[in-house]
Structure 1
Amino acid sequence: MRNRQSIEFLRFRYWIVVGLLLLIVLAIVLRMIYLTVIDRGFLVQQADERILRDVPIPAYRGMILSADGIPLAVSIPVDSIWINPQEFKADYQNIIAVSSILKISPNALQKLLHRNAHKLFIYIVRDINENEGNKITALNMPGIYTEQEYHRYYPEGPITAHVVGYTNIDDAGQAGLELAYNDWLHGIPGKRSVVKDRLGNIVAVMDTISHAKPGRNLILSLNDRIQFLTFQVLQQTISQYKAESGSAVVVNPKTGEILAMVNFPTFNPNKPYSPPYDRYRNRAVTDMFEPGSTMKTFSIANALESGKFLPATEVDTNPGWFIVGDGKVRDEKNNGVINVIQILQRSSNVGVAKMNLLLPPNNLINLLQRLGFGERTASGFPGESDGVLPYKTEWRPFDYVTLTFGYGIDVTTLQLAQAYTAIANQGKICPITFLKRSQPVTCQQAMDPELAHEMLLLLEQVVKPTIANEESTGTQAAVPGYRVAGKTGTSYIAAGSHGYTTGHNTLFVGIAPVSDPQLVIAIIIRDPQNMIEQGGIIAAPAFSKIMAGSLRILNIPPDQLESLNGTKTSTPFPEAN
């Protein structure tokens, strides 16, 4: 009896198990029918997700070109190599094969893979040539891939480095105009759907989801030949005088276009990020300094604008110094009784100080504001300094008179060049730009046109080697065949809030040709290491070389042919008795 019950119980359990198995089989069959017939798209989607990938299409970054069409920054196609550490078999054979092609240390590669073993993506190298990329592809190793990118290349190298700037490894602007116009230059990457095999190689391009949109080209106002000339002259001058550094700016006063901007020391933008790092600064727009005697131009303009002085007005500078408040103003020598022309020619601190002490301080401050001091130019260059223009309700007399000959005010080389464009352009200042202009520009009237012309002729007397001009400070800035106007400057280098160092800055700012001004050039040589520290001896000859070459490059005809024969010409202003 018990045996029969046991057999029936076992038979019951057997059929239960069979029934369950049949139900499972039936469910599987029904699911297969559903997926293959009713919802076939699901299987297709799952298969596609295993072999279809969306990959980026790199966008071409726009070129940067000079005004004369010379490429200053271009993007060239390169390969980059990346690895999925979870797919790549990091055995000895694979490590050696990859590292030998990419010229990297096997130990370094192994450590990199070990350190990032949890990741799905790490770059091994960027910006390699196509040949190396093809060799990696030919290895047919799972988990290692090539990717096309663009590498930025700068054909002019150090010559245009401070203006053009550079990009990082991801082709994004990091400095200079590359940074300022990054949104204009960079393109928009595209996207395409591809089929990859088990090794990750693209075996078919299925569809382009979105096309890459290339960046736009940027045409600068720089003249490539003038830029190169300026670079050569500045480099030679700094080397000759063992100076710490130097900057030079060439501007078209009628448009505000920068034709050249050079700093030295410089760097190679094709290999940035190596020390010393202070050479990456565009000193012409970032570094401030006290302009010294180059500021006397505007102090004299202030005196003439007041109507109390004429070019022939005499000022007694005896005995070559005088006490103002708690300070002493002095000249290098006693110039005696001299007129305004001679004050500018001989760069007399006493003369310019005595003239402006008869005028309200705010008159000079207002003029300097109109000329753009104390604020950035319109250039839009990253990191440009504002400069420092003091404004006080009450002036200590000595603070005011030192301002008249260029102390107590901080400027940049670009600001100084911009201010002199007003004298060259009938009193108007055009917005400074690094871009080539295609349309007329609106310029601001900073100075009366007649006053600007009068100052232009006065500055010509500083440079012109006339018989009555033997003691002028700027004759070495002369350019044979051309009428040149300009002003020298020498200033002590400030030591923060602790007075001054023993070093000097030497400067020259000039305009040519006087008959129809086309160029303004400002140059500063910082801390020359010798006994000759005057701007007229160091900076003026450098100016002359840059100006002479630039005028030839631009085919600007001479306007003073008699000077080619060495003839000294007379001044258009009456001499003081």
Structure 2
Amino acid sequence: MIGFTNIDGQGIEGIEKSFNAQLTGKPGSRLVRKDKFGHVIENITEVNPVPAHELQLSIDERLQTVTEDALDNAVIWNKAESGAAVLINIPTGEILSMASYPDFNPNNREGAQLDDFRNRAISDTFEPGSTVKPLVIMTALQQGIVQPDSVIDTHPFTLDGHRIRDVGYYPELTLTGILQKSSDTGVSHLSLAMPVQKLMDTYKSFGFGVPTGLGLTGESSGLLPKRRYWSDLDRATFAFGYGLMVTPLQLAHVYATIGSFGIYRPLSITKVDPPVIGTRVMPEELVHEVEHMMESVALPGGGGTKAAVRDYRIAVKTGTAKKIGDDGKYVDKYVAYTAGVAPASNPRFALVVVINNPQNGAYYGGAVSAPVFSQIMGDVLRLENVEPDGMPADSDHLLVMHGSHVAVPGS
């Protein structure tokens, strides 16, 4: 992330390159007249030097260390191809830590491969899988398609010759249950009940499809599809994270916006004072409702129990996405995600952990990236002396299944 300079002191990678002009300054110059003995007898013109600016990064050395250590160990343990993690200060938009593995030592680059120099947190793009499901539920609530206590028919069904089903069998689920069980059928029904542009607008407003504006060279803008025609299958899979590409940084930005209950703030790699007010992109009450539902994911019965942090409430979503091969077809390789905010009662930190192509048996986000999330977020909360907020208060909205009327939106 920091990068390095060449022998002339010019930044050629990372922050050193992105902020080279501020870090370098400009030398001064003077035009003089001398006598035959070489003595200066007249100053004709003089340009004062411009000193280099000090750059105070938002990166916290302690939090960067725990993030790097946990990510490195996870990639190695899971025999994965690579990994990335991003931690954001929600109230300010400051990046507190950003890790990428494989990496290199900028003070000793001997033996480093060219690929090691890439900051995967900003450059690598993947389909985000189930991590987008909270946005689908928010959009459905905003459009009045469902209410917070609605129950959805989640039986398997067929679209365009393809079977839409869940990992487990759940005939019906509440909205909380759709998140806790990560129901593809549930979000598919919600997506099919709304114009696809409504979901697209939510994805855009939360930060997908555009660069974050962080200012680092090599950042990808990801990809949102531009289709004239959307099949029902396209609309369904779009709701569980296929058909779009995002970077780990973009995903962290989305979750920081969830953690601020719908306020979209610009991100910064330098210290921010005072904090930017930001722009509201979703009603506060609605986002708060869904954020509370997300707490069920790390509770018993959820797909992200390994992301739980002792003594703290966390709102989290795991995800697993198949990778696309060189021929444009899906292959048996996976990306494991865990994204969330904490403490859930008053979110201060948003964290995303991405493990690319784990090959040690497990590959689901709840098994591979969730423990890394737990380790990093737990260390962050304790290092920052954040007061524990315990278990979530009892709420009907954390019900997963009950026997009331079952509805299929739009039916």
TM-score (norm 1): 0.65
8 Å CA contact 1:422–1:452 kept in 2: the answer is: no
Question: Which of 381, 398, 408 is 1:551 aligned to?
Answer: 381
Q: Which amino acid aligns with 1:182?
A: N
Q: Which amino acid aligns with 1:215?
A: A
Offset, 1:364:
0.3
TM-score (norm 2): 0.90
Offset, 1:398:
0.7
Structure showing greater radius of gyration is: 1
Q: Which has the higher contact order (CA 8 A, sep 6+)?
A: 2
Q: Which amino acid aligns with 1:186?
A: T
1:355 aligns with 2:190: yes
Give secondary structure in 1 for the equivalent of 2:218: coil
Give the Cα separation in 2 of the matches to 1:214 and 1:386: 33
Q: Deviations over 1:90-111 (max 9, x none)?
A: xxxxxxxxxxxxxxxxxxxxxx
Offset, 1:479:
0.9
Give the Cα separation in 1 of the matches to 2:254 and 2:344: 16
Aligned to 2:141: 304
8 Å CA contact 1:249–1:261 kept in 2: the answer is: yes
Give secondary structure in 1 for the equivalent of 2:335: strand
Q: Which runs of 5+ in 1 are unaligned?
A: 1-162, 194-203
Give the Cα separation in 2 of the matches to 1:341 and 1:434: 34
Aligned to 1:219: 56
Question: Which of 183, 191, 205 is 2:21 aligned to?
Answer: 183
Task: Provide the identity percentage.
Answer: 38
Aligned to 1:384: 219
Offset, 1:572:
4.5
Give the Cα separation in 1 of the matches to 2:39 and 2:131: 66
1:488 aligns with 2:318: yes
Give the Cα separation in 2 of the matches to 1:348 and 1:230: 30
Give secondary structure in 1 for the equivalent of 2:69: helix
Question: Which of 190, 194, 199 is 1:364 aligned to?
Answer: 199
Give the Cα separation in 2 of the matches to 1:300 and 1:363: 12
8 Å CA contact 1:253–1:429 kept in 2: the answer is: no
Aligned to 1:151: none
Q: Which amino acid aligns with 1:365?
A: M
Q: Deviations over 1:229-257 (max 9, x none)?
A: 00110011111111111000000111110
Q: Which amino acid aligns with 1:220?
A: L
8 Å CA contact 2:296–2:398 kept in 1: the answer is: no
Give the Cα separation in 2 of the matches to 1:572 and 1:391: 39
1:455 aligns with 2:293: no
Q: Which amino acid aligns with 1:174?
A: I
Give the Cα separation in 1 of the matches to 2:39 and 2:215: 43
8 Å CA contact 2:259–2:341 kept in 1: the answer is: yes
8 Å CA contact 1:487–1:510 kept in 2: the answer is: yes
Give secondary structure in 2 for the equivalent of 1:454: helix
Q: Which amino acid aligns with 2:20?
A: N
Give the Cα separation in 2 of the matches to 1:232 and 1:432: 24
Aligned to 1:512: 342
Greater helix proportion: 1
Q: Which runs of 5+ in 2 are unaligned?
A: 32-37, 404-411
Offset, 1:212:
5.3
Question: Which of 155, 158, 175 is 1:323 aligned to?
Answer: 158
Structure-2 change in CA distance of 1:211 and 1:404 (3 Å): same
Taking the TM superposition and a 5 Å limit, the aligned residue runs for 1:497-576 are: 497-560=327-390, 570-573=394-397, 575=399, 576=402
Give secondary structure in 2 for the equivalent of 1:219: coil
Offset, 1:439:
2.1
8 Å CA contact 1:506–1:524 kept in 2: the answer is: yes
1:247 aligns with 2:79: no
Give secondary structure in 2 for the equivalent of 1:573: helix
Q: Deviations over 1:341-383 (max 9, x none)?
A: 1111000111110121111111100111111111100211111
